[in-house]
Amino acid sequence: MVELDFDDALMWGLRGYVRRVTEELGLSGECSYVQAERPATAYLALEGRLPGFPDRDVALLWDEERGWSAAVETHSGEDVLVQAHFGPDVVPPPGAVARWVRGLFRGEHVPGPRSGAPRGEVTHLLAPYAAAALVPAQRGA
């Protein structure tokens, strides 16, 4: 059996986790990326528009210190504008993330501030999702 080092475990866990969130949202995942280099981050383009931003694309962002946030893209290529944070968990269940995103699109109130998880804990929390990164994507499920 091959031993995974800490960074490999983080990468596979994060890839699997983002994949599960993508599936819960009914997306293909074609417009997403995962960066496992520290600090680990993920980006997932969403379909639809947030209330108050009818002409801006929406992205779901994740980082190992703050967890998930929803942001709108700018027209000038600058950084995205964060509109909401999921909280307090850094690695909430994928179904909970999907429900939160759907609520944002309906204009529902967003959760309050979050607390960050220690770096080592993030890898541990992502570990159950590593296998999902290795299974072929299900289309139309």
Q: Which two tokens stand for residue 14?
A: 């994060």
With vertex at residue 35, the alpha carbon angle to CA 29 and CA 38, rounded to the nearest 5 degrees, is 155
Average pLDDT over residues 58-75: 92
Sheet holding 32-35, edge to edge: 32-35, 41-46, 58-63, 67-72, 81-85
Average pLDDT over residues 99-118: 76
CA distances from 54 to 25, 42, 46, 81 (A): 20, 24, 13, 14
Which one of 26-30, 42-46, 83-87, 114-118 scores highest in mean pLDDT?
42-46
- The answer on pLDDT for 71 being more than 90 is yes
Lowest mean pLDDT across 1-5, 7-11, 67-71: 1-5
